[in-house]
Amino acid sequence: MSAGGRTRLPVLLAIWAALLAAPFWLPLIGGYTALGTRVLVLGLAAMSLNFLLGFTGVLSFGHAAWFGLGAYGAGLSLKFLAASTPLALLFGTLLGGVLGAALGALIVHRRGIYFAMVTIAFGQVFYYIAYRWNSLTGGDDGLRGFARQPIALGPWHIDILNSGLAFYYFVLFCFALAVGAMALLLRSPFGGTLLAIRENERRARFLGIPVELHVWIAFALSCLFISFAGGLYALLNNFADPNNLHYSLSGDLVIMAVMGGMRNFWGPLLGAAVFVVLQDYVSSLTTNWMSFIGLLFVLVVLFFPRGLLGVARGKSAA
């Protein structure tokens, strides 16, 4: 409820109960487990973007770059390094996170539309690299020939490859780790400085906060989290393709965050759920599914300018 992203306990329990039970209630309403997994992965991606957009006040329009790098990193690791799921996730997360941090350092002095434009450019650079470097990335056809590997956990052997249910819970576990880390960061003194920058950069500066340094750290963390989501996405599909890096996906992620409510910690997850479910359902009826999403987005922005979960803390005076 608070601007720091604190959600009241009963709401929090309801969210986690719904996520834990999703494989059981999804079929009752016409869904399936893999759809739930997709919502978790894209929801984590949108929440990672929103760490920057909603809680630092910095708009990146090229976050698919880091998502896609995470996906390619995980795929390449499985294909060429070792048949290990944790290693793939680590490699993907570091690939996107480190490149994001390095390139982010170049642009933290830019703000607003200039920042957003440069992030799009970064995304397209990686898109074309993936598109053209056939020998490594498979080019236009995407990266194939790898599969997520079962997890050996002491005496247990968790077959996330063949059991969609086991994979869902594996993704939910990863989601919980990342989301928990984000929530703790936002509550911390460091998180407070990010809210300060979002609210009033000038005031933040004159409180003694080096704004560029803090924006850079927030950007790097956001890249790290979204690369992790990208790695999970590659595991989900056993496939990575250049569209994972394309700016249209960056735009989709922004839509998810804004539609769900970017001032609300959980908003982007709801946005991702609406987006993914609508995409799944409407695309079975018509190829023009995106126009329905577009229409819904316009309606949400018109009637709930703060997103579906943003009404709770709307300002009385416009």
Binding site for other proteins (CB under 8 A): 2-4, 184-185, 188-190, 192-193, 195-196, 199-200, 202-203, 205-211, 214, 217, 263, 315-317
Structure tokens at 98: 């480190």
Nearer to other proteins, 172 or 217 (CB): 217
Nearer to other proteins, 101 or 165 (CB): 101
Closest separation in Å from C-beta 310 to other proteins: 11
Nearer to other proteins, 246 or 263 (CB): 263
* Alpha-carbon span 72 to 148, nearest angstrom: 13
Tell me how far apart the 2 most distant CA atoms of the chain are, in Å.
60
DSSP for 96-134, written as a single string: HHHHHHHHHHHHTT--HHHHHHHHHHHHHHHHHHHHH-H
Closest separation in Å from C-beta 295 to other proteins: 29
Closest separation in Å from C-beta 82 to other proteins: 31
Closest separation in Å from C-beta 186 to other proteins: 10
Closest separation in Å from C-beta 184 to other proteins: 6
Closest separation in Å from C-beta 256 to other proteins: 22
Closest separation in Å from C-beta 116 to other proteins: 21
Q: Mind spelling out the 3-state secondary structure of 242-304?
A: HHHCCHHHHHHHHHHHHHHCCCCCCHHHHHHHHHHHHHHHHCCCCCCHHHHHHHHHHHHHHHC
Render the burial of 102-140: b for 16+ CB within 10 Å, e for the rest. ebbeebbebeeeebbebbbebbbebbeebbeeeeebbee
Closest separation in Å from C-beta 193 to other proteins: 5
Q: State the DSSP code for 60.
A: -
Nearer to other proteins, 195 or 255 (CB): 195
Distance set, CA 316 to CA 311, 312, 313 (Å): 11, 11, 9
Q: Are 12 and 2 in contact (CB under 8 A)?
A: no
Nearer to other proteins, 144 or 313 (CB): 313
Q: Are 308 and 267 in contact (CB under 8 A)?
A: yes
Strand, coil or helix: 9: helix
Determine whether 254 is exposed, middle or buried from the number of CB atoms within 10 Å of its CB (0-12, 13-18, 19+).
buried
Rg for the chain, CA atoms, rounded: 19
Cβ atoms within 10 Å, residue 183: 19
Nearer to other proteins, 14 or 184 (CB): 184
Nearer to other proteins, 55 or 146 (CB): 55
Nearer to other proteins, 201 or 280 (CB): 201
